[in-house]
Amino acid sequence: MKNTFVVISSAGPNRDLSKGTREQPFWDEHAAFIDRLVADGFILMGGPLVDAGGSLLIFNAEDENEVREKMKNDPWLQRGILKQESIKRWQIFIDTRS
């Protein structure tokens, strides 16, 4: 059974806060990695935390270990552009999307 997880990342030590998200090093590799997870139905939603340089992603996964296993290959986490802060299972009570 799949569960919903929220993953919050902060700006890593190699993130240039003077540049936008798409101007960061290894953007193309990171975007391709995330796009694959979206296409596989693993990432449901996500995006940058604009003022903080981090990100928030919503995942569909069996458990926290599956999330960790997938995310360890993110080029931005590997290269310190992002730093993973937390993975939390989330029970959705309110969803107005149709």
CATH of the domain at 16: 3.30.70.1060
**Quick one: tokens of 68?**
């960790």
What is the domain extent for residue 37? 3-90
The total number of structural domains in the chain stands at 1
Check residue 52 and give its pLDDT. 87
Q: Averaged over 55-65, what is the pLDDT?
A: 97
**pTM score:** 0.91
Q: Does 51 score more than 90 pLDDT?
A: no
Residue 85 · residue 1 · CB < 8 Å? no
- Residue 65 included in any domain: yes
- Residue 97 included in any domain: no
Q: Does 1 score more than 90 pLDDT?
A: no
Give me the residues paired with residue 7 across strands. 57, 87
Question: 21, exposed or middle or buried, with CB in 10 Å at 0-12, 13-18, 19+?
Answer: middle
- Residue 53 included in any domain: yes
